[in-house]
């Protein structure tokens, strides 16, 4: 998992290359006042860019950790 706030921790083991087959990108609300709709819009925009430049199969979903602590990726 790569995050915006932890870029300084990225290394060879976490970088995405031409040989990458699977990866997970997370968008999270750092504050509970951020509406779910904002996350949904950001997810749609990210997916549109990824599909344009990285053809493949994508799965996206919103997780509410106050209700669900386990999910299948």
pLDDT of residue 71: 63
Q: Is the entire prediction scored with pTM above 0.75?
A: no
pLDDT of residue 25: 78
CA distance 39 to 60: 11
Q: What is the mean pLDDT of the chain?
A: 77
pLDDT at 6 > cutoff 60: no
pLDDT at 26 > cutoff 60: yes
| Selection from 10-24, 34-48, 49-63 with the highest mean pLDDT | 34-48
Q: Cα(first)–Cα(last) distance of the chain, in Å?
A: 12
């Amino acid at each position: 998992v790569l995050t915006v706030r932890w870029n300084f921790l990225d290394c060879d083991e976490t970088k995405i290359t031409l040989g990458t087959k699977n990866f997970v990108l997370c968008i999270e609300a750092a504050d509970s006042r951020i509406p779910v709709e904002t996350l949904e819009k950001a997810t749609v925009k990210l997916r549109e860019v990824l599909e344009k430049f990285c053809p493949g199969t994508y799965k996206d979903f919103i997780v509410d950790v106050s209700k669900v602590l386990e999910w299948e990726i």
